[in-house]
Amino acid sequence: MKDAVLNNAQEQWDIILEPKNSFFKLNLREVWRYRDLMWLFVRRDFVAQYKQTILGPVWHIIQPLLTTLIFLFLFGTVAKIGTDGIEPTLFYMSGIAIWNYFAACLTSTSSTFVTNASIFGKVYFPRLVIPFSVVISNIIRFGIQFGLLLMFMIGFAFKGVPMVITFYWLYIPLLVLLMAGIGFGLGIIISSLTTKYRDMALLLTFAVQLGMYITPIAYPLSFLATKKYEWLVTVNPLSPIVEAFRYCLFGHATVSIGGLLYSIIFMIFVVVLGMLIFNKVEKDFMDTV
């Protein structure tokens, strides 16, 4: 008995798991140490999503093409809404590509606790690893759809539609990062709330559908210049990002420095707030999930 006590006293542990007592203790350094696990989750998310489908990742191409055709008919042919001098097909495809990335980040991160409860209950790792992996894995989807857009831009260039590559293209990764940040921040806030209020998941589906129509995806921001509900789209932090994205690609859009600063501030706010709420909820979410 005495020897067992001495052996226990001499034991040294590499990792000691303790409950988080501080609301502001995010342990981002620990998330970085688990980056290999994050890449495994990235691979899992991308492979598992289409593992039992016939077309697999081809759906990433089919979906924006079908949506573009619908927009061409509804907003181009029926409603006859202009596209700021941009070729309509390219106009709609560009908006759909960046919106799909935001929507995928938002909806996937919002179910972090619910869909991964079985993993969280068995092994320890920083819980923020999973929402970070979701944002990264959806970059692959965006890359496929952005590549499709570039192919269409090159195709239309042969038909006389000018394709001008300027230094503004260098800002595209920053705009995508802004979209990722807003989707990530809002997603982990909703994920924290869904541990107690499952209704949030149902409301999110409706909110994403509605959000697409109060973001200038199917119409340019200039179309609402004299409309009654212009303010609703203007206060949307995604609107300046979408307009700036189109300006970088085509050189035509309604872009303002003030609007982009507003989007940046909003992104920082929701990311910080989301991580703080996520940090608080993860301590006892297994009792409510």
Domain boundary assignment for the chain: 25-287
pLDDT at 69: 94
Instruction: Yes or no: say if 99 and 174 are a contact pair by the CB < 8 Å rule.
Output: no
Instruction: Concatenate the DSSP letters of all residues of 37-102 into one string.
Output: HHHHHHHHHHHHHTTT-SSGGGHHHHHHHHHHHHHIIIIIIIS----TTS-HHHHHHHHHHHHHHH
Q: Out of 20-34, 139-153, 268-282, give the one with best mean pLDDT.
A: 139-153
> Based on C-alpha coordinates, what's the Rg of the chain?
22
- pLDDT band of 62, cuts 50, 70, 90: confident
196-230 residue pLDDT tens? 766 677 788 888 888 888 999 999 888 876 667 77
Q: Is the pTM value of this prediction over 0.75?
A: yes
Instruction: Judge whether residue 125 has pLDDT over 90.
Output: no
- Rounded to whole angstroms, the Cα distance separating 250 from 161 reads 10
Instruction: Judge whether residue 132 has pLDDT over 90.
Output: no
**Structure tokens belonging to residue 24:** 């502001």
- Rounded to whole angstroms, the Cα distance separating 280 from 147 reads 39
Mean pLDDT to the nearest integer, 159-188: 90
pLDDT at 269: 95
Mapped onto helix, strand or coil, the DSSP state of residue 283 is coil
1-47 residue pLDDT tens? 555 544 554 556 555 555 554 545 556 677 778 778 788 888 877 76
Q: What is the mean pLDDT of the chain?
A: 81
